[in-house]
Structure 1
């Protein structure tokens, strides 16, 4: 009898794909069939649509309905297809103009009273619609500000199904309301902790500056109360603000997770994520059975992932970090598909020297057995430690440090970090890399090879078995960062020595 079409968007991880929603009404016994791999929430959409339409005065006829979500092989999850299904059914019933709604993307959940409710993940959905060539999208009113962050697409917000019907009926006669204005990035971060609050620990402060300048992974080992957590929390304040494209990537992940602080602002500063040591593999790395969701490593994309009490994390969770530390993404494999999640984060791990926490510093009173110490750090596998560039030991703060002058504030240190980042950006312009930590070792050992007299300490360490080839390359990256902070054109022997010292200055053996 009638066929209606419109569009919606399906999410796979943090990537969206345009979906065509078809509704066919035929004679026969009243029935409702859905195809296209809907999950439980999506398959119940016709029930919500029927109640919402009846409440708005446009009841869905009791006919034989077939709802198809194309492409049929792509799993459809969530209630964000409700509005698209309702529009397709109303178009098949000639309530809405079929030609008008065909070129519009509809996103939103329907309440039984006809209200259009917000959904998570609107930003990547709208971005996918724009990338697919769509020019108009209708979203819940509560999601308009978030959707307006995407350029080159007209965004309209509706609060109810009745309002949506009036919108399309007005569009048929050429009356179209003003679309939401596209907004640029706005800072959504409040005041950040200051480095001046950290008492003492000059070596750890210098190591943190090096890690920030080159985006190197870092391990801190020290007694409880030495300042490991304070230093880690101040790392985001040393990092430069995110660029527009990076901010969109980060905000898309937060949108999917439903953790955006404000709907009208991009996440323009490096996020800081600190999962509990009891977190599961799915919570840290990402995963799920019916719907793959990003984990803490993806939430920390372009920011800092802080693991406090690292040896207390499960061994499989820690080893699961090895792939994203190298590739900058997580690949979740399922029988029918693979989902890729962004995870280019900076790892900061913190640990006590032993289970009791008193096994470091002058006058330490540790009662842990050698077996207990080995078991405690046994969860930190060699391959994982080999991927950590900067390692530093923190000793307990004494009263002399309390009476000493305060350390440099974050603003001064961040300025040096920014200058070092600009040198790296200029050096690696025209390449896929922007910071030293991303540069492959083959490039540093090839085109940018340092003189043999400079790299002799690294080669000697490899001969003694103290460094792997990966460790050798990571020391080179740190040396370039140390040279950038010092304003040198190329690393010298002293910079290589400092890089090697930063790699071997913690209580944990590599």
Structure 2
């Protein structure tokens, strides 16, 4: 009887758990059993590991092999356990030095020829290993640059199982195979900044965008086609400041699990921008998939912008699933194999036409839509969803000869100054922007002047605002004060915030 041990990491959402991989070899009829709640892709590791070992030139032990993944109550998914299973088995067969391999974390998928293939989620997996006191990590060459981003990690990249076995004293000739490149789900998002000066006219919408960037508020833009809604939304990330170190690590971890991270450029420092098509399914927007769910567009937009163009064309299921992340800043996805949590604190930007035909401008004389078609069109944007949107703006057709507005760099400096003021006010709290702070907490800091809230109380009495809406108006008012350099909002700031929320209706 022989026993080999090594370590791996199981990811549940973005949370990594160090797993002890034990291989027990008994003198009995040859068999290979894998236990410890493996999923289908992990159960197939038995065939991949056996083929990889023989392709490497090592003798496969003809004994009864039982591999246990401990803790056994934790579900394990994916092919990233292949390397650890192979190393533990070879250590149990005494084909390599088991004592040297026991405390090392091994992550990687094996090909039938013994080559190591990169896997997703290496950044959060290595971070979990280092946090648990296991800094020595072996990963495929394609993941080495990503793993090296974790402070304190001692990363070794390998191209094949033979190279790993040779590190632990296995007696074999190690060829130098071509490393397998990382296969991404889609190209990484471009990080270049679009200039706000490209948008002609639309002063009110530009002001609304500046307020949204300064306070982290959600926006609804309504206007006919061609008025610049998409251009404005695409330029919002350029107004946002660079991500702080802790946010950069968290955002990069999400994109690592999603398979959209390009490790050559280091951590993602700019706020991401996601714009799913209106035919997207709920699983592609909020996350999902068979087994343990993967992050969707909402999580990939964490600390950035999620833009829904032609928002009423999205399915009702997609729009309603956004209510949880808008309220709590995270997505909790429940599946049979477990519960995955992904951060999703994004700025939502909705764009919509005034009606299905898009020509209802002014009195809508050119509009061909019937009244029930208009009601059905905007009915997709339910009251509970719009109640969570802080800013609403109507865009009118702009003249081609209109003057260009301020460039992104100028507006971004004002946004940075406003965010700095908000950070000073929120120091010592878990919130970073006015949009995150509770309305009651901000209300207490308005002072003793009850007349400040008089206009809000009248809007509540008329039914044009809910209590949640009143809190969001107060948050916008604080952002307006930060942009103007005032210590607290004035009555004018509250009135202006109310107008920005209601598009001037009922104010």
The two structures share one fold, judged by TM-score above 0.5: yes
Distance 1:7 1:336 in 2: 22
Residue in structure 2 matched with residue 141 of structure 1 by the alignment: 141
Distance 1:219 1:445 in 2: 25
Alpha-carbon contact 2:291-2:336 (below 8 Å) kept: no
Deviation string 1:219-241 (CA, Å, 9 cap, x unpaired) is 00000011000000000000000
Residue in structure 1 matched with residue 14 of structure 2 by the alignment: 14
Alignment of 1:194-233 (within 5 A): 194-233=195-234
Tell me the CA shift for residue 448 of structure 1.
Answer: 4.4
* TM-score normalised by structure 1 residue count: 0.93
Q: CA 1:385 to 1:79, structure 2 compared with 1: closer, same or farther past 3 Å? A: same
Tell me the CA shift for residue 291 of structure 1.
Answer: 2.1
Structure 1 position 386 matched with structure 2 position 394: no
Tell me the CA shift for residue 362 of structure 1.
Answer: 6.3
Structure 1 position 270 matched with structure 2 position 271: yes
Q: CA 1:450 to 1:387, structure 2 compared with 1: closer, same or farther past 3 Å? A: farther
Deviation string 1:222-276 (CA, Å, 9 cap, x unpaired) is 0001100000000000000001110010000100111113444111100000011
Alpha-carbon contact 2:215-2:479 (below 8 Å) kept: yes
Query: Which segment drifts farther, 31-40 or 201-210?
Result: 31-40
Distance 2:446 2:9 in 1: 46
Distance 1:23 1:489 in 2: 64
Alpha-carbon contact 1:4-1:90 (below 8 Å) kept: yes
Tell me the CA shift for residue 15 of structure 1.
Answer: 1.9
Alpha-carbon contact 2:299-2:343 (below 8 Å) kept: yes
Tell me the CA shift for residue 386 of structure 1.
Answer: 0.4
Alpha-carbon contact 1:188-1:265 (below 8 Å) kept: no
Residue in structure 2 matched with residue 39 of structure 1 by the alignment: 39
Residue in structure 2 matched with residue 338 of structure 1 by the alignment: 339
Alpha-carbon contact 1:34-1:66 (below 8 Å) kept: yes
Residue in structure 1 matched with residue 96 of structure 2 by the alignment: 96
Distance 1:371 1:270 in 2: 39
Deviation string 1:156-208 (CA, Å, 9 cap, x unpaired) is 111111111122229xxxxxxxxxxxxxxxx9964311000001100000000
Deviation string 1:133-156 (CA, Å, 9 cap, x unpaired) is 112000011111100110112111
Residue in structure 2 matched with residue 451 of structure 1 by the alignment: 449
Tell me the CA shift for residue 286 of structure 1.
Answer: 1.2
**Matched residue SS, 2:393:** strand
**Matched residue SS, 1:99:** helix
Query: Which segment drifts farther, 349-358 or 253-262?
Result: 253-262
RMSD, aligned α-carbons: 1.7
Alpha-carbon contact 1:107-1:138 (below 8 Å) kept: yes
Distance 1:283 1:463 in 2: 40
Tell me the CA shift for residue 336 of structure 1.
Answer: 5.3
Q: CA 1:450 to 1:417, structure 2 compared with 1: closer, same or farther past 3 Å? A: farther
Alignment of 1:147-186 (within 5 A): 147-169=147-169
**Matched residue SS, 2:72:** coil
Deviation string 1:310-333 (CA, Å, 9 cap, x unpaired) is 001111110111111010001112
Alpha-carbon contact 2:306-2:349 (below 8 Å) kept: yes
**Matched residue SS, 1:431:** coil
Residue in structure 2 matched with residue 288 of structure 1 by the alignment: 289
Alpha-carbon contact 2:291-2:335 (below 8 Å) kept: no
Distance 1:261 1:57 in 2: 34
Structure 1 position 305 matched with structure 2 position 301: no
Alpha-carbon contact 1:189-1:269 (below 8 Å) kept: no
**Matched residue SS, 1:436:** coil
Alpha-carbon contact 1:221-1:392 (below 8 Å) kept: yes
Alpha-carbon contact 2:292-2:338 (below 8 Å) kept: no
Distance 2:364 2:461 in 1: 35
Distance 1:153 1:202 in 2: 49
Alignment of 1:30-69 (within 5 A): 30-69=30-69
Distance 1:45 1:350 in 2: 47
Residue in structure 2 matched with residue 352 of structure 1 by the alignment: 353
Deviation string 1:54-108 (CA, Å, 9 cap, x unpaired) is 1222122121111111111211111111100000001001112222111100000
Query: Which segment drifts farther, 422-431 or 403-412?
Result: 403-412
Residue in structure 1 matched with residue 407 of structure 2 by the alignment: 409
Residue in structure 1 matched with residue 26 of structure 2 by the alignment: 26
Tell me the CA shift for residue 289 of structure 1.
Answer: 2.9
Distance 2:202 2:263 in 1: 36
Distance 1:361 1:137 in 2: 64
Distance 1:287 1:404 in 2: 45
* TM-score normalised by structure 2 residue count: 0.94
Distance 1:22 1:158 in 2: 22
Q: CA 1:384 to 1:430, structure 2 compared with 1: closer, same or farther past 3 Å? A: same
Q: 2:499 aligns with which of 479, 501, 506?
A: 501
Residue in structure 2 matched with residue 460 of structure 1 by the alignment: 458
Distance 2:329 2:422 in 1: 19
Alpha-carbon contact 2:145-2:263 (below 8 Å) kept: no
Distance 1:506 1:125 in 2: 50
Residue in structure 2 matched with residue 178 of structure 1 by the alignment: none
Alignment of 1:433-444 (within 5 A): 433-444=431-442
Alpha-carbon contact 1:189-1:268 (below 8 Å) kept: no
Alignment of 1:422-437 (within 5 A): 422-437=420-435
Query: Which segment drifts farther, 56-65 or 409-418?
Result: 56-65
Residue in structure 1 matched with residue 185 of structure 2 by the alignment: none
